[in-house]
Every structure is written in structure tokens, then in C-alpha cells.
Chain A
Amino acid sequence: MSTRGFFGRRPSAQAAQRLPPGQYQTEDFPVLSMGPTPRVDLATWKFTLSEGPKPLARWTWDEFEALPRTTWRGDIHCVTKWSKFDTVWEGVTLDDLFDAAGVTPPTDFLLAESYDGYDTNVPVADVIGGKGMIATRYDGAPVPAEHGGPARLLVPHLYFWKSAKWVKGIKFTPRDEAGFWELRGYHMYGDPWREQRYTNDP
């Protein structure tokens, strides 16, 4: 169905290839979150790996910063339709984090949990093998608070709401438990290339 009188402004062929369906490229970096930006003090910041209620490992900020670091450069896609190309993040891959803790993921799913009460579910398979990190630097500087600093999850092959801001820990769960937005109309998995925006999108 075409819209009378609409012709659109097409992205370049090169950009079009990098845009998942329904997305457009933006140069700025929009901010979306459910409430006020929490201000998290590095002196009390902790990151906890847990299985259900049981803590498996915990790091202070200094301990976390001493873990092996990886840089990732690539495109991110927000469910609100914008995509941003060539973003550069630095942090600790989940592979390195699990290694440092001596932990083999005990279940197939996890919930990333944030300081503001937000959480989001991701399959473990989507954060290992170099696919996910806890990012503490964006574009060469500490991640700004409004973009999730001090630390945010980065799972860039999924819609960006999965990349939880202000993350304080990862909890392994026996089942795929819906997180904050997943309980509020958004997709359980969120693959931008399959346009899995909302509940029950195929």
C-alpha cells in the first residue's frame, strides 16, 4: 500500500544495507529511559553475578576496571526506529567476566539488572562468544550517565533496550523471564533484522 504523495528520503545504498527494516540513520544519540537518570557513585558501585538469589561473584569498580578490556565498534538499533552507525564501546566481555569469576553459565537465560530497578532478559548464548560486554567507556570516554554510565550492558545485535543502562548485575534464570519492557508490550528476544519489536512479532 503506498501513501499518496509520499516519496521519502532514501538513505545511501551503503547505509541502506546497514539499516534493519523500519530503521533510519541518526547522527545524534537519543536518550530513552523509563525515569530519571540515576547518579551512581563509583565508590559504592558493585557488579554482581548471581544465580537466582545466590551471588556467584562480585566486583567493586576498581576490581572491575582491572579485568581484561575489549573494544567493539559497530551499529546500534533502537526499537524507536533510530540506528546509529560506527559507535565505539570499551568494556569487559561477558566471556572474560565469566572466566574471571570461574563461572560456567549455569542456565540458558539471564536478566540484566539495573540500579533504577530496570531489568531485561537475554539468552546466555547472545552474550557469550564475544557478542556481549559490560561497557564502561563510550567513544573514548566514561559512558555518560544519560547513556547508562558508569556501566551498561552492550548486546548490539539486539534492539538497544536489551543493552540495559546503569547495570548492577547479571542474574542467571532457569527460564526466559520477561524483563521490564518485555512485560509491557515489547518482544522477548528483539532481533532488529527480523523486526521483533513488540510482543508476538514473528
Chain B
Amino acid sequence: MIAGASIAAPSRWQEAVIDRVADQTPRVVSVFLRAPLARHEAGQHIDVKLTAPDGYSAQRSYSIASAPESSSIELAIERLDEGEVSPYFHEVAQPGDTIEVRGPIGGHFVWRTKDGGPVLLIAGGSGVAPLMAMVRHRTLAASSAEMLLAYSSRSWNDVIYRDELLDLAARDPGFRLVLTTTREARHRPDDLDRRLDAAALREIADRWGKTPRSVYVCGSTGFVEAVTIGLVANGMAPALIRTERFGSSA
């Protein structure tokens, strides 16, 4: 369990400037930040702190969706209606505004090109963010690792990074994309429209025909539990599976 032991301490709180806020889906915005943080590894997260005029502050953790090679830090933030921090990013944040961040954080849910492949990535909803960093890192670092992203969303319009992922899958034979939608029919013939249970995961693995060296699963607690139970039922060694779960990040 010493792999990954060379993780640097996260930075102290640093000022970050918001460069851009872009709609991704009806419920998700991408927030692009410039901050003097050390280069992150694909899969890591940062802490964000917002401070009210009277000094009250709120902190949350968000996975980094951008590749380590990228000059800005991208966060994909889902709007939680009862939330305290996510509505700020959806309704208030504008280019030039500043927030505080520290990081990068986390030394386990990380994929490095030297880890190689094949790599199986499984995302539920906005859990795609840290996996997107891995997908982009693989491309920008010109890694030859085979990679498959199985990505579950409610609907076609809820698929974050849809165009980028479809484009990459079309031009890079080493990258395979399987979308599944749980509340509407599939849009592409080879996609799925059901939950990622053991049978669905088996079908995806069989069609891919690769034996993953590592598996990364990110999504809600219920999603990660269901997927990992399915993977283990299909014979996957638990030690190959790394998970990241978000309960409430309001």
C-alpha cells in the first residue's frame, strides 16, 4: 500500500480568479479557475472556500475535471437546489471574481500514464469530473493505454462533456465510450439505457474484450455501491477497484 506515497502536501488557501463559467447541461456548469497551485494529478480534487462579508465562510471539495496539462483548473459543479455553495457558482460567479482554493488533494483516486492500461472508468452523473481529467490526461500525454469510459446519466442532455467525449471516441480507437441513460432510451445503437448492474457491466466488458489493470468508479454513494457490487460479482478483484463517492456536497 505504498504506491502513491509521494503525494505532496496541499497548498495553503490561495486566491483563485474565475476565468469563465460555462453551461454544460441544464444542471451543471463548468467553472474555470486560475490559481497558483502545484500541478495536479488526474483524479485529484481541490477545496473551495467562499467567504461572506461578515467573515462567515463555507467550504466544499470538488474534483478537478481538467487535465494536469491544462493551464486552468476546471470544476464541474452540479446545482443542488438546497445547496449553499453550488447556487453561488450557478447564479453569482462571473469572470474576474475571486474565491479561495487549496490543493491539489488526494493520492489514491489518481491515474498516471505510468500506471498504464487497460483502464476502466465508470461514472455516474457529475461523478464524471475526475474521470474526465483522466481521459483528457491520457490524450494530452499521448498515452497508449486503452481506456473505456462507461458513463451513466439520466438523459442524453444530462451527459456532461458529451460532444468532447463523442468526438474523442470517434477519432481515437484506444478510447471507448459507452453511455447509458436511465430515464430515456439510448441515442446510439451501441449505448445502453439501463442501470449499470452486474449484467450491464458484463456486457460492456465482453464487448470491449480487454482485461482492465485498474478500475475507477465515481458517483453517488448508491451508484458506487451498485457498480462495485456488480464488478466484484463479475469476478473483478476488489483491490483493482478505486472509488470516489459523493454524498452531499451542497
Contacts and interface: CB of A to CB of B under 8 A. Distances in A.
Given A38-B238, A81-B61, A7 B52 contact: yes
Nearest to A36: B228
Contacts of B55: 2
Nearest to A34: B108
A10 interface: yes
Q: How large is the interface on A (under 10, 10 to 19, 20 to 34, 35 or more residues)?
A: 35 or more
A30 B58 CA distance: 18
Interface stretch (A96-104, A121-129, A178-186): A178-186
Given A35-B243, A180-B1, A185 B59 contact: no
A75 B247 CA distance: 18
Interface string A1-44: 11111111110000000000010101011111111111000000
Contact of B107 (A9, A37, A184): A184
Contacts of A82: 247-248
B97 A3 contact: yes
Nearest to B96: A4
Nearest to B15: A1
Contacts of A1: 15, 51, 98, 100
Interface residues of B, number: 54
Given A183-B5, A200-B9, A8 B50 contact: yes
Grouping DSSP codes into helix (H, G, I), strand (E, B) and loop, the B interface class, with mixed when no group exceeds half, is mixed
A176 interface: no
A33 B243 contact: yes
B234 to A, nearest CB: 12
A90 interface: no
Contacts of A198: 9-10, 102, 105
Grouping DSSP codes into helix (H, G, I), strand (E, B) and loop, the A interface class, with mixed when no group exceeds half, is loop
A8 B52 contact: yes
B51 A2 contact: yes
A3 B88 contact: yes
B89 to A, nearest CB: 10
A80 interface: yes
B84 A117 contact: no
A184 B4 contact: yes
A26 B248 CA distance: 8
Given A8-B57, A184-B107, A26 B99 contact: no
A116 B196 CA distance: 23
A119 B1 CA distance: 9
Interface in A58-80: 80
Contacts of B102: 198
B239 A117 contact: yes
A95 interface: no
Nearest to A198: B10
Contact of B5 (A33, A80, A184): A184
Interface of A: 1-10, 22, 24, 26, 28-38, 80-82, 116-117, 119, 146, 180-181, 183-185, 197-200
Given A3-B97, A185-B10, 13 more contacts: A5-B97, A6-B51, A6-B92, A9-B58, A22-B49, A30-B245, A31-B247, A34-B243, A36-B231, A37-B225, A81-B47, A81-B59, A183-B107
